[in-house]
A and B are shown apart, each in its own frame.
Chain A
Amino acid sequence: MARLGMVIDLKRCIGCNACTLACKQENGTPEGIHYARVVTQEAGVYPRTKRTFLPVLCNHCADAPCAEACPTGATYIRPDGIVMVDHKKCIGCRACNVACPYMNRHFIERGLLKHGYSSDGISPFEALKFADFDEGTNIKCTLCAHRVDEGLEPACVVTCPTDARVFGDWEEENGKLQRLVKERKAWTLLPEYGTKPSVQYLDE
């Protein structure tokens, strides 16, 4: 059994949002929906201030509360650990939205697929990509499952200019994820929610 996931090194992240854009281009998500984003935080008081960047995406939790909350089984976990949504089964109840503590579920409002980013309706690119979505349903990061199935890495990983993102299998003995976590202290987001995320972070 595999459990695909990611380690993100915050020491390397420069907050360029290349991952955000690569994800948008790869998945063609509708306006205002970003599977990958970089949360920016400013802390401290002048002159001792610090700006930090936290790239976030679906954590593909082992104990995914979104999958647990879904009444139809539209949200499911693949054998390789990727949490997916079958939009044909989704009824748009948004139980998954309130279940995910990381706010990584996205609801496609009615009418959202009728216009793109330009003012002239939807572009040919958007028309192609929007065919994968369904209004009134939920979508989420798929860890680029369509790429992973072809042996490629997710778009955010291959695009990162500083190699801050490392993609791999948590179950692989002494694999690159396990090695990184052993070498440096890793942590997950909101561990108190008990979701067992497959995305871990390094900042030391």
Chain B
Amino acid sequence: MTTRELLIAPHRFAFGYHRQTFWNWLIGTAFFLGGVGGGLFLVSLLTGHVAGMLAGVLIVVVGKNSAHLAFLGRPERFLRAAARPDRSWIARGIWATGVFAVTGFLSVLLRAHSPLLQLPEWAANLNYALAAASALFIACYDGFLMRSSAGVAFWRTLLLPLLLFMYAALGGITLSLTIRELQGEAPPEILPALEHGLLVANFFLLGIYLLRMNRSLPAARATLRQWLNGRYARFFFGLVVLVGLLATLLLSLLHGRVQTSWLVLLIAACELAGDFSMMMLLLKSGLFAPQAAPAYSRGTAG
């Protein structure tokens, strides 16, 4: 069966695949900002870049949390979501965001040698460790959350948290390079090399993810067909692969020869566009499997 024949049910009384419409662009934006902000903070903390750390904290605390609150049906009750960290990835995410908001801001003050905050060395190191751990968690917990969402087969693999973490690291490095460029500060030599390495690694990891999905449940294979030659092929090949990975890699290689600020901004725009498109594709292309008697499910929907 080709993608064009994929049976998408027009409503809940009809047989066929059902599109995932519950998690929309707001959740996609929140996950994207969490990845990029967490990644940026981590990279900046490791390379001692205060402006990057501050930007990372603001992206997570203001950007990501605003998108989450805007999405919730009852945002005034959001603290209730912290109730079950032993079972829910959302609850773990709330705890991590709370820890990050405090330790992240303290880390910025400590790194900036602010007179507002004086801590003994062990306490400062403990704070850095907590901030780094919570940033790392924020950068990849949405992958675990999506993986644990049993209804959408395309998300049910451990490769998803890994893929989203790799994208978070890539986005963090790209933003860190961009902020340094705007500040007129030379980046550590390792960052451009890491960016190139991650772009190549993400390309292959994305390929492995799709190969894995090709051996997964029928609903996952149906989503894969939409990515490769169906409704979402233009977005996948155009934005995720061409703009987000290949163009970003070529432009960043070119930046080694041509040192201009506009090129750095263009690289950041391409990478972030690819990263965001990837997240939105993951959310929008998710399918629920058709429900049918075993005798009728074979050959009609798979």
Interface residue ranges, A against B (CB under 8 Å): 10, 34, 37-43, 52, 54, 56, 65, 68-74, 89-95, 97-103, 107-108, 110, 134-138, 187, 189-190, 192-193, 195, 201, 203
Q: Are B83 and A72 in contact (CB under 8 A)?
A: yes
Q: Of all chain B residues, which has the CB nearest A134?
A: B74
Known: A89-B80, A100-B151, A137-B73. A95 touches B293 (CB 8 A): no
Q: Are B148 and A69 in contact (CB under 8 A)?
A: yes
Q: Are A71 and B74 in contact (CB under 8 A)?
A: no
Q: Which of B1-36 contact A (CB under 8 A)?
A: 12-15, 18, 20, 22-23
What are 14 sample pairs from A and B whose C-beta atoms fall under 8 A apart?
Answer: A39-B14, A54-B292, A68-B148, A71-B94, A72-B80, A89-B77, A93-B81, A94-B23, A99-B150, A102-B288, A110-B73, A187-B293, A187-B294, A203-B295
CB distance from A32 to the nearest CB of B (A): 9
Q: Are A103 and B81 in contact (CB under 8 A)?
A: no
Residue B90 interfacial (CB < 8 Å): yes
Q: Of all chain A residues, which has the CB nearest B12?
A: A37
Write the B136-172 contact mask toward A (1 if CB under 8 angstroms, else 0): 0000000001001111100000000000000000000
Q: Are A193 and B295 in contact (CB under 8 A)?
A: no
* Cα distance A54–B13 in the bound complex, in angstroms: 9
- Interface size range on B against A: 35 or more
CB distance from B287 to the nearest CB of A (A): 11
* Cα distance A101–B77 in the bound complex, in angstroms: 26
Known: A72-B81, A72-B83, A100-B151. 19 other contacts (CB 8 A): A34-B13, A39-B13, A39-B14, A41-B300, A54-B291, A54-B293, A68-B150, A71-B80, A71-B81, A71-B90, A72-B84, A73-B84, A89-B77, A91-B78, A95-B88, A99-B148, A101-B288, A102-B151, A103-B288
* Cα distance A204–B131 in the bound complex, in angstroms: 60
* Cα distance A189–B84 in the bound complex, in angstroms: 29
Interface centre among A71, A72, A94, A189 (most CB of B within 10 A): A71
Q: Are B81 and A91 in contact (CB under 8 A)?
A: yes
Q: Of all chain A residues, which has the CB nearest B94?
A: A71
Q: Are B291 and A39 in contact (CB under 8 A)?
A: yes
* Cα distance A189–B294 in the bound complex, in angstroms: 8
Contacts of B72 in A (CB 8 A): 91-93, 136
Contacts of A137 in B (CB 8 A): 73-74
Known: A54-B293, A69-B149. A98 touches B13 (CB 8 A): no
CB distance from B222 to the nearest CB of A (A): 14
Contacts of A91 in B (CB 8 A): 72-75, 77-78, 80-81
Q: Of all chain B residues, which has the CB nearest A106?
A: B12
Q: Are A99 and B73 in contact (CB under 8 A)?
A: no
Contacts of A102 in B (CB 8 A): 151, 288, 291
* Cα distance A41–B295 in the bound complex, in angstroms: 12
* Cα distance A90–B75 in the bound complex, in angstroms: 10
Known: A98-B151, A99-B149. A107 touches B22 (CB 8 A): yes
Contacts of A74 in B (CB 8 A): 80
* Cα distance A35–B208 in the bound complex, in angstroms: 39
Q: Of all chain B residues, which has the CB nearest A190?
A: B289
CB distance from A52 to the nearest CB of B (A): 6
* Cα distance A135–B76 in the bound complex, in angstroms: 13
* Cα distance A32–B22 in the bound complex, in angstroms: 15
Contacts of B150 in A (CB 8 A): 65, 68-69, 99-101, 193, 195
Q: Which of B72-123 contact A (CB under 8 A)?
A: 72-75, 77-78, 80-84, 87-88, 90-91, 94
Contacts of B90 in A (CB 8 A): 71, 93, 95
Contacts of B14 in A (CB 8 A): 39-40
Contacts of A103 in B (CB 8 A): 12, 18, 151, 288
CB distance from A13 to the nearest CB of B (A): 11
